[in-house]
A and B are shown apart, each in its own frame.
Chain A
Amino acid sequence: MRLEKSGPNVVLLSLTLVALAAWLGLDTVSVAANRIVPGTGYRVDEVIGAGGALATALPWLALAGFAWRPARRHLLLALVLVVLMLSALPAWLALSAVTLVDAPQARLGIGAGIWGVLFLLLLALIELRTRLVLSRLLGWALLLPPLASAALCLARWLEPLALWQEYRGRSGQFLGAVGEHLLLVGVAVGASLVLGVGLALAMRRWPGVQKAGFGMLNFLQTIPSIALFGLLLAPLAWLSANVDWLSALGVSGIGWAPALLALVGYSLLPMVRNTFVALEAVNPGVIDAARGMGMSRGQVFRQVRLPLALPVILEGIRITTVQAIGLTAVAALIGAGGLGTFIFQGLGQAAMDLVLLGALPILLLALLVDALLGALTDILRPGGAE
């Protein structure tokens, strides 16, 4: 509290200083003659000269100044500055592309400096949003100017950007992969939700099931994902060879079937655990009152226990979904498709930008789902906390 009143905002100040160091000290972009050869890195001063580099330090110093005296007015100015700087990052890439890239096959890579600054600026944005107590929606709206700037730069100047080149080579494939990824995650989470809630209910009724169930799910969780895909290969191959309708359905040792089974297996533990704990943790006094008032068992469950448990159950769905989005990337190894395909192709071809083309959307999807389900949980908590 003391810091907030008079002293500097330490979080924002340190973020700013570290980001400034990353900006000036690390390579912001790299240029490679073609797709395979490693690129040459360029620091800020190597792109626009030492004087220009010093000039780019000015907004950072202003930001540090606002952090030093964090009155509300200063924090608002800092917020505007952070949004502007985020919007300037694509412009910096555009400037580098125009000045550094001359040959048509040459490619522009995004350097560690830009990634670092992007990450630190987003953290600063979160810090400012919290300090200024802005709504969730407004927080998201603040990302619109940087996104618009990125879209504009991509359309006009960023032809040589390696990531963009990789995407352009696979634009059809890319949308398909996103679709496959989401389908796998959706079906796996949906199936584990149905199974998980069923299992949690069975565990509440029969304590024996509870012990055995949690034991098995915990064990399942300890198997490394690649090993689990391997273990499923033989039995599924046998099944598809011997059961006609399964092979007609497209089940085989590799592909979507083992991927889905493994994903459901991994998703069950967080789903069951959250559902079970949520249902058990409802205040016994409330349940006692509900029964004492003459509610039937079904009414107690539907009108009291389930609604009170819902925020925690949703929390389980959120964790499970984020986890499944990450795990599905590995499923590409056994031919299940999805964004993981690009990651493994890129690793195989030593093309890091192709890896990024797979990894970045996975990251964005996870963040998006996290935010959406988090907002839903807030909405479903009526009248605030208990």
Chain B
Amino acid sequence: MIDLIHVTKRFGDAVAVDDISLSVARGELCVLVGTSGCGKSTTLRMINRLIEHSEGEIHIDDQQIRAFREETLRRRMGYAIQSTGLFPHWTVARNIGLVPRLLKWPKAKVQARVEELMALLGLAMEAFAGKYPHQLSGGQAQRVGVARALAADPDILLMDEPFGALDPITRQSLQDELRELQSRLHKTIVFVTHDMDEALRLADHLVVMHQGRIVQQGRPLALLREPADGFVESLLGGEDRGLKEAALLPVSQRMLPLGPRLLARERIGQHASLREALSVMLWRHAERLTVVDDDDLPVGELSLRRLVGVRSDE
């Protein structure tokens, strides 16, 4: 879907992005992660030509991006950024309808689409449509930013630290919403962040960048288990990697069927992560947990040995 082939970007003599190659498959959420100035934002902005690449080729659906007019290319891609970039002089509804209007959709269709998106992102039409951006909370503004990016139903979504300025709780709930949205919409998303927890939580495909190069890419679990070098390892949290990995695995992967023994008193939901299960054990001083389904009915059990023991997927 998106292919970067030996792409380099120079600003004068400085090399911002150094010969990177990257493929993002259709429907995949690819997260670029790295420290400030590693070239991740530059890479993202080269995809919609806000920055022109110096060397190499960038393809969208096997067509060079330079084959399109800049505006045409950008209108095909959703774009969401950190400070939301909402237009302060436009209402929420007008902000969301921006790209459809640029594409000259008929008025009624734009209106219907705006209503649909506001419902999708949990923004009540009558409460928010007429509001101006400065009347919104950070989380609401960011939802509007995402709605605006999705407005013309683009296949591709580019997101540049969209949740960067939010408090941790709002940030996590928006991350969950994005995952949930993605499981329904299957967009091809390139997402830039410097927050490794956010990257691990969201990524199908994780790309670690350092000094303009891609140091390692792959599935998050693969990177956690086999970091290519010390830099990736430290970025992934060093000694905390065990907990980060546990946060990615659901309880259901490690639990055993209910045995003949008595049910343990402490319970954990089957969709909770192993990290949460471990935390419950530490907090309750319990070696065993009863795993329950959504209706709070026991479906299995998880022991400490089992939790930390042999990996079930190996």
Residues of chain A having any CB pair with chain B under 8 Å: 283, 285-286, 288-296, 299, 304, 307-308, 382-386
List chain A residues, Cβ under 8 A from B99: 293-294
Question: With an 8 A cutoff between CB atoms, is B87 at the interface?
Answer: yes
Q: Which 4 A-B pairs have the closest CB atoms?
A: A289-B85, A383-B132, A294-B74, A294-B75
Residue contact B81 to A293, C-beta cutoff 8 Å: no
Complex Cα distance, B134 from A306, in Å, reads: 19
- Cα A307 to Cα B135 in complex, Å, equals 19
Q: Are A285 and B83 in contact (CB under 8 A)?
A: yes
Whole-angstrom distance from the CB of B264 to the nearest CB of chain A?
51
Count how many chain B residues have C-beta atoms less than 8 Å from C-beta atoms of the other chain: 29
B81 and A285 contacting across the interface, CB-CB below 8 Å: yes
What A residues does B98 contact at CB under 8 A? Answer: 293, 295
CB–CB A293/B102 < 8 A: yes
For B84, what are the chain A residues with a Cβ–Cβ distance below 8 Å?
285, 289
Chain B residues positioned under 8 Å from A382 (CB to CB): 89, 132
Contact of B88 among A295, A296, A386 (CB under 8 A): A386
What number of A-B contacts does a CB cutoff of 8 Å give? 71
Q: In the complex, A296 Cα to B135 Cα: how many Å?
A: 28
Question: What does the 1/0 interface line of B118-143 toward A look like (CB < 8 Å)?
Answer: 00000000000001101100000000
Find out whether the CB atom of A386 lies under 8 angstroms from the CB atom of B134: yes
Tell me the minimal C-beta distance from A146 to chain B in angstroms: 39
Contact check, B102 vs A295: say whether CB atoms are below 8 A apart.
yes
- Do the beta carbons of B134 and A385 come within 8 Å of each other? yes
Q: Are A293 and B74 closer than 8 Å at their CB atoms?
A: yes
With CB as the reference atom, state the residue of chain B lying closest to A381: B89
Residue with the greatest number of chain A CB neighbours at <10 A, chosen from B45, B89, B91, B131: B89
Binding site for A on B (CB under 8 A): 45, 48, 50, 70-75, 79, 81-89, 91, 98-99, 102, 131-132, 134-135, 148, 158
Given contacts A283-B83, A384-B134, A386-B134, contact A292 B50 (CB under 8 A): yes
Name 14 extra pairs, CB < 8 A, besides A285-B82, A293-B98: A285-B85, A292-B50, A292-B81, A293-B102, A293-B148, A294-B74, A294-B102, A304-B87, A308-B88, A383-B89, A383-B91, A383-B131, A384-B132, A386-B88
Question: Do A292 and B132 have beta carbons less than 8 Å apart?
Answer: no
Shortest CB-to-CB span from A307 to chain B, Å, is: 5
Please, how many angstroms separate the alpha-carbon atoms of A382 and B98 in the complex? 18
A–B pairs, 25, beta carbons within 8 Å: A283-B83, A285-B81, A285-B85, A286-B87, A289-B85, A289-B86, A290-B87, A292-B45, A292-B48, A292-B74, A292-B79, A292-B158, A293-B79, A293-B102, A294-B72, A294-B73, A295-B102, A296-B71, A304-B87, A383-B88, A383-B91, A383-B131, A383-B134, A383-B135, A384-B132
Closest to A286 in B: B85
Contact (Cβ within 8 A) A290 B71: no
Given A383-B135, A384-B132, are A291 and B50 neighbors across the interface (CB < 8 Å)?
yes
Complex Cα distance A293/B94, Å? 14
**Closest beta carbon of chain A to B129's beta carbon, Å:** 13
Chain B residue with Cβ nearest A303: B87
Residue numbers in B under 8 Å from A385 (CB-CB): 134
Q: Which of A290, A293, A304: most chain B CB closer than 10 A? A: A293
| Shortest distance between the CB of B3 and any CB in chain A (Å) | 20
Q: Which residues of A contact B73 (CB under 8 A)?
A: 294
For B91, what are the chain A residues with a Cβ–Cβ distance below 8 Å?
Answer: 383
B79 and A289 within 8 A (CB)? yes
Tell me the minimal C-beta distance from B151 to chain A in angstroms.
9
Complex Cα gap A39–B91 (Å): 64
Q: CB distance A293 to B89 under 8 Å?
A: no
Which residues of B sit under 8 angstroms from A308, Cβ to Cβ? 87-89
Which residues of B are found within 8 Å of A292, using beta-carbon distances? 45, 48, 50, 74, 79, 81, 85, 158
Residue of A292, A296, A382 with highest tally of chain B CB at under 10 A: A292
Docked Cα-Cα span, A291 to B85, in Å, equals 10
